Amino acid sequence: MRRTVTIPLSREQLFTGEIARRIPYHTMYGQPYCLPAMTVYTADEYEQLRLGSERVDHLYRKTLHFVQEYLPDEYLIEQLGIHPLLAHTARQSIPWDGLTRLDWIISPDGEPKCIENNTDTPSGVPEVAFIEKELLRHVSGLLPASDMMNTRIQHMFREALSYYSEHGLGPKIHFTSYDWHEEDRMNTMYLLEQCQIAGIEAVYVPLEQLKIVPEQGLYDQEEQITILYRLYPLEYLVEDREEETGRAVGEDLLQLVAEGRLGLINPAQHILTQSKGFMATLWSLYERNDQMQDYAGFTLYNAEECSWIKQYLLPTYFTDEPFRQNHIPYVSKGYFGREGQGTRLIEQAGQAHTPQKNDQAIHRDDADSNRPSLQDSGDPPASNTPFGSHAVAWNSENADPTEPDTADQERLAAEAITAYYEQQPKIYQQLHPMEPIRAVTDTGTYEGYLLTGAFVIGGTFAGLLPRIGGKVTDNLACYCAAAVTPTERQD
C-alpha cells in the first residue's frame, strides 16, 4: 500500500484564498478533486521516475525523428491514425521539445513502467506547480517533487520564442482554450503567467473568439497571431468547420502552420507521439532493431537505449494475438483515448473490464459519470472561429434540467462520446499491476490505485502528478500531491 500523509487542515481551511483562485476546480460536481493529503515517494523511487522519464522522453524523440524522416504517409495514416491533412504538417521537424506528461504505474513490488505519453495537450499543471508547494507548508520532513516546474515552463517558452523568432514569428504569444471550461482555462492561464514571468509578452484569447482568414492568418480581433499556445487537441482541430458555411477552417489553420505563418505550442509533430500507435511502433522497431542494419543500413537504438526500452516500457502491439496466445493479461486502448475512454482491461482470457460509474475505486454517489473534458462543447462558438463544430462536441453539462428531454440528451451525448473512442483503432499493451493507495481526509477515505504522471518539459523532468482512481484512471480520479522522503544518511 502506497504511503500517504494527511494534511492537518480541513478542505475548507486549505482550499481557499490563492489556492481557490488558481485552482477553482479543486472541487468538481460537489466532490473533492484535489485532496488535503500527499502521496509519498522514497528518494530512490523519485530518482527512478526522474531518470526514467528523461530516458523515455529521449526514446520518444529519437523515434519521432525516424518516423518523420523514413516512414511514408500511409504508415502515419493507417498505423498511427493521423488524419491525412495532418500528416504533412506533423512531418515538420521542430528542434525544441514542448510540455509533455508521461503516465507511470509503479507495481506493488516497486517496478515502474511508463504506460503512455501525453504529448499534445497535457493538463494538471497548476496542481503540480502550485498546490504541491502549498500543501508542503503544512507537513514536516518531506521534500517537494515538483519544485522545477515553473523554471522548466519558463525555459520552454524562451526556447519556443527563440526558434519561432528565427522564422519571422513573434514576439507575442497568444494563449487559447475554451473560456467556459474552467479547468482548461486555468491551466492555460497558469502557463501564460509563467510565460510573462519569463519576460515574454503574452495574452489570452478564448478559443471561441479566434478568427481565421484563409491563406492569410489567424486573428484576435484585428491583431494577427503568429505564435499560439492551444489547449485543444489537433485531432479535433483538423475536423473543425465554420458553423454557418461549413468551410473546413481547421484545415485552413493547419495550412497556415505548414506555410510558416503560424507557430504552435506544442508543435504539430506532437500529434505523432500522442497517438498510442506510436507506442506500438516504438516497440516494433525495438524488436526489429538487430535487423535494421540489413535493410536500412543502420540500427536505430544503441545497446543502452535498448536496455531502457526493456526496463521502462511494456510490450505493445497492433494486435492482441501475442497476449491471447500466451494467456498474458493485457490492455486495449484507442489511439486517441483520453481520461480512460476507449480503454479495456483483459485480465483473464475472454473477460474484458471497462470502467463503469458504479465500478470506481473511489465511490462518489452524486458525481456525474463524465467530468467535462476537451470534447465537450459550451455555447455555440462565434461563427468565424476555426474551432466551430467538432463532430463529437456535446454539452450535457449545460443542459437545461427543466427540459423534459434532458436525460435523453445526456444519454445520447454519453453514447456518442463512448462510440467516438470505441470506434478508434486499438493498440494492445501488456497489463502492469497497479499499487493500491488510500488517502484519509476530513471528508472521508479515498481508496483506489495510484497512477503517477511525470512532466517532462523541453526534455527535462519537472514534476509529478499522482492521481487516485480505478484500475482504469478516468476523469473521476483525485489529485493527491506528491512529496519525497529525504535521502537516508549512510553512516
Torsion of CA 293, 297, 302, 306, to 10 degrees: -50
Give the number of other Cβ atoms within 10 Å of residue 97's Cβ.
25
Q: Under a CB-based contact definition with an 8 Å cutoff, are residues 330 and 280 in contact?
A: no
Torsion of CA 422, 271, 252, 200, to 10 degrees: 130
CA dist., res. 473 & res. 343, Å (int): 10
Res 15 pLDDT > 70: yes
* Residue 430 is assigned to a structural domain of this protein: yes
End-to-end CA distance of the chain: 29
Contacts of residue 20, Cβ cutoff 8 Å, sequence gap at least 6: 26
Q: Under a CB-based contact definition with an 8 Å cutoff, are residues 424 and 334 in contact?
A: yes
pLDDT band at 287 (very low <50, low <70, confident <90, very high): very high
* Residue 309 is assigned to a structural domain of this protein: yes
Q: What local confidence, expressed as pLDDT, does residue 244 receive?
A: 87
* Residue 176 is assigned to a structural domain of this protein: yes
Which neighbouring-strand residues pair with 41?
484
CA dist., res. 225 & res. 202, Å (int): 11
Higher pLDDT, residue 157 or 491? 157
The CA-CA-CA angle for residues 235, 236, 238, to 5°, reads 70
Residue of 311, 309, 219, 234 lying closest to 265 (CA atoms)? 234
Residue of 88, 119, 115 lying closest to 103 (CA atoms)? 115
Res 187 pLDDT > 70: yes
| CA distances (Å), origin 241, targets 52, 121, 145, 247, 386 | 41, 21, 42, 5, 7
Q: Under a CB-based contact definition with an 8 Å cutoff, are residues 279 and 427 in contact?
A: yes
Give the number of other Cβ atoms within 10 Å of residue 286's Cβ.
21
Task: Give me the residue label for grid cell 498511427.
Answer: 80
Q: What local confidence, expressed as pLDDT, does residue 362 receive?
A: 53
- Averaged pLDDT, 15-20: 96
Sequence length of the chain is 491
Task: Give me the residue label for grid cell 458555411.
Answer: 245
Q: What local confidence, expressed as pLDDT, does residue 355 receive?
A: 55
Q: What local confidence, expressed as pLDDT, does residue 488 receive?
A: 61
CA dist., res. 446 & res. 451, Å (int): 14
* Residue 203 is assigned to a structural domain of this protein: yes
Task: Give me the residue label for grid cell 473521476.
Answer: 476
Phi, psi of 124 (to 5 degrees): 90, 15
Tally of domains in the chain: 1
- What is the tens place of the pLDDT at every residue in 28-67? 877 899 999 999 999 999 999 999 999 999 999 999 999 9
* Residue 491 is assigned to a structural domain of this protein: no
Q: What local confidence, expressed as pLDDT, does residue 406 receive?
A: 65
Res 400 pLDDT > 70: no
CA dist., res. 472 & res. 360, Å (int): 9
Res 137 pLDDT > 90: yes
Q: What local confidence, expressed as pLDDT, does residue 163 receive?
A: 98
List the 217-220 sheet strands across, edge first: 210-213, 217-220, 223-225
Higher pLDDT, residue 214 or 365? 214
- What is the tens place of the pLDDT at every residue in 250-261? 999 999 999 999
* Residue 10 is assigned to a structural domain of this protein: yes
Compute the chain's Rg from CA coordinates: 22
Q: Under a CB-based contact definition with an 8 Å cutoff, are residues 5 and 142 in contact?
A: yes
* pTM, full prediction: 0.89
* Residue 490 is assigned to a structural domain of this protein: no
- What 3-state DSSP class applies to 177? coil
pLDDT-wise least confident of 234-248, 313-327, 374-388, 476-490: 374-388
* Residue 418 is assigned to a structural domain of this protein: yes
CA dist., res. 269 & res. 428, Å (int): 23
Give the chain's count of helices (H) and strands (E).
Answer: 17, 23
Which neighbouring-strand residues pair with 333?
343, 427
Please report the sign of the dihedral spanned by the C-alpha atoms of residue 174, residue 179, residue 184, residue 186. Answer: positive
Q: What is the mean pLDDT of the chain?
A: 88
- Pick from 189-193, 368-372, 400-404 the range whose average pLDDT is largest: 189-193
Q: Percentage of the chain with pLDDT > 70?
A: 86
- What is the tens place of the pLDDT at every residue in 325-336? 999 999 999 999
Task: Cis check for the bond before 372: say yes or no (omega within 30 of 0).
Answer: no
Phi, psi of 5 (to 5 degrees): -125, 130
Q: What local confidence, expressed as pLDDT, does residue 410 receive?
A: 63
Residue of 255, 238, 268, 245 lying closest to 390 (CA atoms)? 238
Domain that holds residue 66: 4-399+407-484
